[in-house]
Structure formats: C-alpha cells, structure tokens
A and B are shown apart, each in its own frame.
Chain A
Amino acid sequence: MLRNIWAHRADYAYVLPAIAVMLIVIAYPIYYTVELSFYKTPPGLQLRDKTFIGFDNYTTILTSEVFWKVTWNTLIWTFGSTFISFVLGFATALALHRDFVGRGVLRAILIIPWVISAVAASYIWKWIYHSDFGIIGAVLVGLGLADRPPNFIDNVSTVLPSLIVVNIWREFPFAMIMMMAGLQTVPDQLLRAAKVDGANAWQRFWHVTFPHLRNVSVVTILLLAVANFNSFIIPWIMTGGGPSNASHIWITHIYELAFGRQRWGVASAYSVLLFLILMALGYFYVRALSGNERKEGRA
C-alpha cells in the first residue's frame, strides 16, 4: 500500500491541501462535538472546566419532555415541508414542461422565492403574517371576511403550519427545477408510442413519465429532507422557536441550548443525534445517486 502511495505521490500531493482543509473544518469539529457530548458543561463555568459524564447528556435529552415536543415539531416541519414542496414543485414542472406563450417568464418568476435570501424572505413573511397589521390580515378585514387579523405566528396551534407555508414557498422552486431537468430525460418517442397504443394522459404519466423520474425524485426528496432537518433561518428569524416552544425544531433548539443557555454538552449530544440522522439520509442519497450512475452505465 505504501508503495502504491509512493508511486502516486504526485497525485496525493495535489489533493493533500484539500484533505488538510477538510480535516480542519469538517473532521475536527465533528470529533470535538462528539467528545463534548460526553461532558457536563455547567453554564456558570468555562468550557475547559467540563466534567466527563459518559452518556448522561443523551439520557437527559431522551427523558426530557422538550425533546419529544421538539422532535415532533421537527418531524412535522421536515415531512410537511418536504412532501408539499416536492408535490408542488413536481406539479409546476409538469405544467411548465408543455410549450406555451410566456413559459420562460413564468419559470423565471417562479424561481424568485428560491433565489431570495432566506433572511430577507423571513422578514417579509413576518410582516405578511403580522398578527396586528399584516397584509393578509388587512386584506381579510378589508374584504369583511374577518373581524380581526388572523393569528398566524403568535398562536401555538398555527405557528408551525404557517412557517411550513413559508418554507414551501421558498423550496418548491428547487423541486420544480430538479423535476424539470428530470422531465427532459423522458424519451419523447416512448410517450408518442404510448399515445399511439391508446394510453390516456394519466396512463402515459404513470407508466412512462413517472418511472423515468423515480431516481431524480428520490434525490430531490432526500435533498429537501436534509435541508429541512437543518433549516434554521426561517423559524429562528420569524419566531425564535416560540411562542412557548411551539415552533422550535431541533436545529433552533440546539442553537438556543448552546448559545443562549450555554449547555454545550447537551447541545453537542443533540447535534450528534442530528448528525446520525442526517448521515442516514446522506447514505440513502448516495445510494440513489449511485443507482442513477449504474443505470446510466447500463444504458
């Protein structure tokens, strides 16, 4: 092996700086987070005064009421955002796949939410939703459809769905672009042949188009899921996890534990759990990509 490395020393020398950088900015933080997750870090002490407590932080997390509430929120947030973004993006991609006047303009307009900064979008939506003088409330009251503006983000029942709507608005263009790219790969002659054979529009979609899009769909869903699991900006800016923790998801809760409450050990344990979940999703993502490559190789 060493001989092999020596034989390719020039190649290794080329990638060495990149590996070194990755070790510093990726591997070390991961190692340190895992290490920290086994320590108690009282907020009144410096981090260097931490004490080893084994798996206590993990036990604390798994037995805490907040953990299950935040986990439930995270699941609703992730699956809600991912599923609806994908369906909406897919539907839009199908609609835009057909030729019509103004298709390019419409496509460009639909991409706007995705290219807007998440921070700016969060502030804009915060004002749209504002419980006292938001645009939606003003319109509804103005049209006589409501006595007072609806309470979107200051209510424990409506806050999470309201944030999911914002997230979907931002994310569906990504799904749309991915699926539009996928639709380009569906062979036109197959669709025409199916039509000649008497297949209706639904049958053509289900038996011809959709099978061709299976892999790109899996990749899109996995990418959306990973992004949503890790999505910090929208919930943090719009509600800070409130009211009453109703919109706290894992990532915002970890941030508050670490930087607001200085429970570095517990926050690290949370991060390790999140890391494992994301690694699992990453594994499926890589498998989906490999599947694509194998399929293309066979073709």
Chain B
Amino acid sequence: MTRIMLGSAVLRGTVVGVLAASLMSTSALGAPPVDLSKWSPEYVRSIAGTQDFDTAGDCAKVTPLDYKGRLTFWYQGVFEGDPDLLRQYYKDFFETFRKTYPNIQLEEQALTYNDLLDKFRTALLGNAAPMAVRLQILGGTEFASKGYLQPLKPEDVGYSTEDFWPGAMKAVTWDGVTYGVPTNNETMAFIWNADIFKRAGLDPDKAPATWDDVVKYSKQIHDKLGIAGYGLVARKNAGNTPYRFMPQLWAYGGGVFDEATANPTYKEVELDSPQSKAALQASYDMYVRDKSVPVSALTNQQADNQPLFVAGQLGMMISHPSDYNVMLDLQAKATGTDKDKAQTVIDNMRYGLVPTGPDGKRAVVFGGSNIHILKPEYVEGGKVDEPAAKAMICMWASPEWSLKMAYAGSNPGNLNGFKTKWMKERLDHIKFLDVTTSMLPYGIPFPALPESPEIMNIIIPDMLQNALTGAMTVDQAADDAAKKVKDLMGGL
C-alpha cells in the first residue's frame, strides 16, 4: 500500500518560514476566501466540497451569455508530458464555453510550453497577436513591461484579487498595475521509487531530507544497482530545467537575485555567491563526479525522465503533481512484461516534500499560468473583443474550471476552487495530491522581471551545461552566468 510521506511538523503547517511569508504576507492579502495561514493537507480537505458555484451565472454578470462576438485565443496547452485526463478536461472546457456562449466565435490555438513564447513574440512583432493569451507565469511581466498588454485585474472578470494566491498576483503585476488573471498555480514535490531505495540499502519510506542527501542517495543507487539515482534535467530552452534547478539553488541559500527573500528587490545578482556555487556543485557532483544521474540530462527534459522512472531505471526526481497520472497512462500503454514492471513501479511510488538545503531551507518554484488581454494595436485586425475575452477569462479562472483544468496537473489559481466538490473528488482520486498542495507555501515565484524568461530558459541552463560538460569549472560557470545576468539587466 502506497503511503503519503509527510513530516508531521509540515502537516501541522508550523515550519513555513520566510518562503511562506513571501508568498502570503502581501498587502493584497485582504480577506482571501480560504485561510492561507492554516494551509495544510487537513485544512485543504476540510474546505473541499463546502461551496457550490454557478459558473455560467457568475460569468453572465461579466459578459451576457447571448453576447455575439469573436475571440482569437492562444494558450499554453497540454503537451507530451501531460496525462490524458488533462487532455479530456481541456476538450470539455472548450465545448462548455461554446455551449455557454454560443454566439461567440472562438478561434483557439494550443501551443506547448517551449513554443509559446517564441511564437507569441514573433506574432507581436507583426501585430498579429491573438486577442487574449494564456501564458506561463514567467511570461506575463515581459509583455506587460513592453506595453503589449491591457491592464486587467480579477475584478474586471467578476472576481476579487484576494481570490488568488498573492504570489501569483505578483507575477501579473508590473509597475504597480495588474495585467492578468492567474488560472492555475502549482508547486512540485519529490517522487521516489521505494523498491529501488530498498534494493539500494536505503530506507524505502524516507525521502532524502536534504539536497546533500539527494547527492548521496543518487550515488548509492547508482553504485549498488547501476541505474540513475536522481532525475537531473539541464536542457536549454525547456521550462523543466529552471523548475528543477531553482529549488536546489534556493535551498542552498543562493538565487539569481534575492527572489527567495520576503521582499525581493532584484537589485543584486547572487548567482556567483558561495551558496549558489554550492548548489551548482551538487549538480556537478551527481553528473560528473558520481555519474549517478542520466547522462542524457543535457539534452532531455522531464518528459524523458518519466519513461525512465516508470521503467524502474530512475530512483527519484522532482515531480509535477500530474506525474502519478502520467505514470498510469504510461503503464496503460505498456505491453507484455513491461506492463507488470510499470505497475510495480507505480505501486512503489512515494511522494514527499522537496528536500531542504543545509540550513533547513525548503523551496520550490511557484509555477502556473495567467491569462492576459492584448492591446488592439498588436492584434490581427486591430480590434479586441473585450467582452468575449472577459467571458473566456471569467470561465477559465472560475472556481469550477480553474480547478478542472488543473485537475491532474496543477492547482486552481482561484482559491475558491479548493472549496468545490470537484476538489473533494480530486482529493479522493489523485494520489499524492496532499503532498503537492503542501508544497504550495514553500513556493517562490520567478523574479517578476521582463528579463526572467531569458534568465531562466537560457542563462541558468547554460550555466548548468557549462559546468556539467567541463567547458567551465563550477566557479567559472557561476561567475559567467552572473555576468550574463548583470549584462542583461544593464541593457546589453
């Protein structure tokens, strides 16, 4: 029987510290619909299924249901690493939208995480952007700062700012103005194969407590069993890389800037600090010194680690909330003896909190997505149908759909989503959900800067690759990355 692994202290929600403060203690936190200070798996369970919402009725107040219009809409959709369940919910959403707003001609286009930014930037250059776009959390500030987006706050689509995670609201705010509405927010957790741990002589029910333990466990697994211990990811231009390295960087006390503090200023570059170098050294030790992680880490992403894990060839990795469902999908597609092997892995899956740094600091990327409305001059045809766009945003960010669209892969951006009956159902059906929701208070948003996409998608992976390939020493790679960030911030 698979058990959820949680430290009891965490369960009580007592060890949250500075990271939680950064996420929760903002001025925006007036009267949220849920009590974030009580956040724990028990609390989440206690509020699930306690309130009903009428999505169509609520959105009718924003845009009448008989409104006639046209909307072009791009969104970060499902990709190869997502579970089938999520595909179905996306399909259901668009069908429901068309039924709810039968007179809105919707032209939607799904793009993968790694393609969306490039395509959207290109479209903006030609004034051929869609009227509304759902971007990854990293992207909003870049486009807001350049003046492409219209001011848009939750109140414009029938909600309150307090209905959303304060950390998520930070990511859609530039220069004091709000430019978008969060749709979903997630934090990752840690996943391991108890059977591999046992065979490697490790406690099968105990996650590595610190990142130093991860390095040790990874080596032990590799040395004893000849398979990869930890699922390192270091591909460039892939969202998976910063999502997996930044928690390590922050846990060691490092950072790109001071983004892990309660009130970040983003003034000083800290990538070359001893703490940041210690985090990079840990990756170096696993990849180069111990050779205990997949060699393919430099060209692969998380979607490549998932089959390795389900094949029993990988001991542990940072895991998205959806990974349990992905494993089930992969198992269903397996044939012959592979099917049984995959089932064994699934039975031995364990989820726990992401390890801490040497000083007990635990951190994870506060991820998610936001919806934005473009200014008409950048849109194909020069017109934006605002009521149609707001209808779409109201529906997607509603408690019902922000939960359903995040059913297997994330968490609702709208905190009221945690109160819906679907959340209750989800808690019963999605294994390990408690763990991933428990990580939410440890979430740190990426720096809310227009330069963040380049820092996270190019400079950080470059730093990792330079160190791991031996092209530079760990010190040189960190110094080089710090210089690149300084140059970037200096407008070079």
Q: Which residues of A contact B (CB under 8 A)?
A: 42-47, 126, 130-133, 149, 151, 153-156, 238-246, 256, 259-262, 264
Q: Could you tell me the distance between the alpha carbons of A154 and B300 in the complex, rounded to whole angstroms?
A: 9
Interface flag for B294 (CB, 8 Å)? yes
Set A43, A151, A156, A239: member contacting B470, Cβ < 8 A: A156
Set B297, B450, B471: member contacting A44, Cβ < 8 A: B450
The bracket for how many chain B residues form the interface is 35 or more
Interface flag for B488 (CB, 8 Å)? yes
Q: Could you tell me the distance between the alpha carbons of A166 and B221 in the complex, rounded to whole angstroms?
A: 34
Set A42, A130, A240: member contacting B296, Cβ < 8 A: A130
Set A130, A155, A260: member contacting B458, Cβ < 8 A: A260
Which are the 3 A-B pairs with shortest beta-carbon distances?
A: A131-B295, A243-B298, A244-B471
Q: B311's closest neighbor in chain A, by CB?
A: A133
Q: Could you tell me the distance between the alpha carbons of A154 and B296 in the complex, rounded to whole angstroms?
A: 6
* With contact pairs A132-B296, A260-B458 given, residues A47 and B237 touching in the complex (Cβ less than 8 Å): no
Q: What number of residue pairs across chains A and B have CB atoms under 8 A from each other? A: 87
Interface flag for B468 (CB, 8 Å)? yes
Nearest CB of chain A from residue B159's CB, rounded to whole Å: 30
Nearest CB of chain B from residue A137's CB, rounded to whole Å: 9
Assess the A240–B469 pair: CB atoms within 8 A. no
Q: Mark B233-248, 1 if CB is under 8 A from A, else 0.
A: 0111110000000000
Given contacts A44-B451, A130-B296, A244-B469, 10 further A-B contacts (CB under 8 A): A42-B491, A132-B228, A156-B470, A156-B471, A240-B235, A240-B299, A243-B465, A244-B472, A260-B118, A260-B458
Q: Could you tell me the distance between the alpha carbons of A262 and B453 in the complex, rounded to whole angstroms?
A: 11
Assess the A260–B228 pair: CB atoms within 8 A. no
Interface flag for B454 (CB, 8 Å)? yes
Q: Could you tell me the distance between the alpha carbons of A256 and B121 in the complex, rounded to whole angstroms?
A: 13
Nearest CB of chain B from residue A260's CB, rounded to whole Å: 6
Q: Could you tell me the distance between the alpha carbons of A151 and B295 in the complex, rounded to whole angstroms?
A: 7
- What are the residues of chain B within 8 A of A244 when measuring CB–CB? 462, 465-466, 469, 471-472
Nearest CB of chain B from residue A278's CB, rounded to whole Å: 22
- What are the residues of chain A within 8 A of B454 when measuring CB–CB? 43, 260-262
- What are the residues of chain A within 8 A of B462 when measuring CB–CB? 244-245
Nearest CB of chain B from residue A153's CB, rounded to whole Å: 5
* With contact pairs A131-B294, A132-B294 given, residues A240 and B146 touching in the complex (Cβ less than 8 Å): no
Q: A262's closest neighbor in chain B, by CB?
A: B121
Nearest CB of chain A from residue B252's CB, rounded to whole Å: 22
Q: Could you tell me the distance between the alpha carbons of A13 and B293 in the complex, rounded to whole angstroms?
A: 66
Q: A46's closest neighbor in chain B, by CB?
A: B146
Nearest CB of chain A from residue B395's CB, rounded to whole Å: 31
Assess the A154–B450 pair: CB atoms within 8 A. no
- What are the residues of chain B within 8 A of A43 when measuring CB–CB? 450-451, 454, 488
Interface flag for B261 (CB, 8 Å)? no
Assess the A133–B308 pair: CB atoms within 8 A. yes
Set A46, A131, A264: member contacting B147, Cβ < 8 A: A46
Assess the A44–B237 pair: CB atoms within 8 A. no
Set B125, B308, B465, B472: member contacting A242, Cβ < 8 A: B465
Q: Could you tell me the distance between the alpha carbons of A132 and B298 in the complex, rounded to whole angstroms?
A: 12
Interface flag for B122 (CB, 8 Å)? yes
- What are the residues of chain A within 8 A of B299 when measuring CB–CB? 126, 131, 153-154, 238-240, 242-243
From 130 to 166 in chain B, residues with beta carbon under 8 angstroms from any chain A beta carbon are 145-148
* With contact pairs A132-B295, A153-B299 given, residues A260 and B469 touching in the complex (Cβ less than 8 Å): no
Interface flag for B76 (CB, 8 Å)? no
Nearest CB of chain A from residue B45's CB, rounded to whole Å: 39
- What are the residues of chain B within 8 A of A238 when measuring CB–CB? 299
- What are the residues of chain B within 8 A of A130 when measuring CB–CB? 296
Q: Could you tell me the distance between the alpha carbons of A260 and B461 in the complex, rounded to whole angstroms?
A: 13
Nearest CB of chain B from residue A107's CB, rounded to whole Å: 34
Assess the A259–B118 pair: CB atoms within 8 A. yes
Nearest CB of chain A from residue B234's CB, rounded to whole Å: 8
Assess the B294–A243 pair: CB atoms within 8 A. no
Nearest CB of chain A from residue B132's CB, rounded to whole Å: 19
Q: Could you tell me the distance between the alpha carbons of A44 and B144 in the complex, rounded to whole angstroms?
A: 10
Q: Mark B456-467, 1 if CB is under 8 A from A, else 0.
A: 011001100110
Interface flag for B313 (CB, 8 Å)? yes
Assess the B468–A243 pair: CB atoms within 8 A. yes
A-B contact pairs, 22 of them (CB 8 A): A44-B146, A46-B146, A46-B148, A47-B125, A126-B299, A132-B228, A132-B308, A133-B308, A151-B295, A153-B299, A154-B295, A154-B299, A240-B237, A242-B461, A243-B299, A244-B462, A244-B465, A244-B466, A246-B471, A256-B237, A260-B454, A264-B125
- What are the residues of chain A within 8 A of B450 when measuring CB–CB? 43-44
Q: Could you tell me the distance between the alpha carbons of A199 and B100 in the complex, rounded to whole angstroms?
A: 85
Nearest CB of chain B from residue A112's CB, rounded to whole Å: 25
From 62 to 100 in chain B, residues with beta carbon under 8 angstroms from any chain A beta carbon are none
Nearest CB of chain A from residue B175's CB, rounded to whole Å: 13
Q: Could you tell me the distance between the alpha carbons of A66 and B472 in the complex, rounded to whole angstroms?
A: 14
- What are the residues of chain B within 8 A of A245 when measuring CB–CB? 462
From 247 to 293 in chain B, residues with beta carbon under 8 angstroms from any chain A beta carbon are none
Nearest CB of chain A from residue B163's CB, rounded to whole Å: 31
- What are the residues of chain B within 8 A of A241 when measuring CB–CB? 236
- What are the residues of chain A within 8 A of B471 when measuring CB–CB? 156, 243-244, 246
Most buried by A among B296, B462, B488: B296
Assess the A131–B118 pair: CB atoms within 8 A. no
Q: Could you tell me the distance between the alpha carbons of A166 and B457 in the complex, rounded to whole angstroms?
A: 27
- What are the residues of chain B within 8 A of A242 when measuring CB–CB? 235-236, 298-299, 461, 465
- What are the residues of chain A within 8 A of B458 when measuring CB–CB? 256, 260-261
Q: B147's closest neighbor in chain A, by CB?
A: A46
Q: Could you tell me the distance between the alpha carbons of A20 and B457 in the complex, rounded to whole angstroms?
A: 40
Set A132, A155, A262: member contacting B313, Cβ < 8 A: A132
Nearest CB of chain A from residue B47's CB, rounded to whole Å: 41
- What are the residues of chain B within 8 A of A256 when measuring CB–CB? 237, 458
Assess the A45–B146 pair: CB atoms within 8 A. yes
Assess the B296–A131 pair: CB atoms within 8 A. yes
Set A46, A131, A260, A262: member contacting B237, Cβ < 8 A: A260
Q: Could you tell me the distance between the alpha carbons of A156 and B299 in the complex, rounded to whole angstroms?
A: 12
Q: A248's closest neighbor in chain B, by CB?
A: B236
Q: Could you tell me the distance between the alpha carbons of A246 and B122 in the complex, rounded to whole angstroms?
A: 26
- What are the residues of chain B within 8 A of A239 when measuring CB–CB? 299
Most buried by B among A133, A241, A262: A262
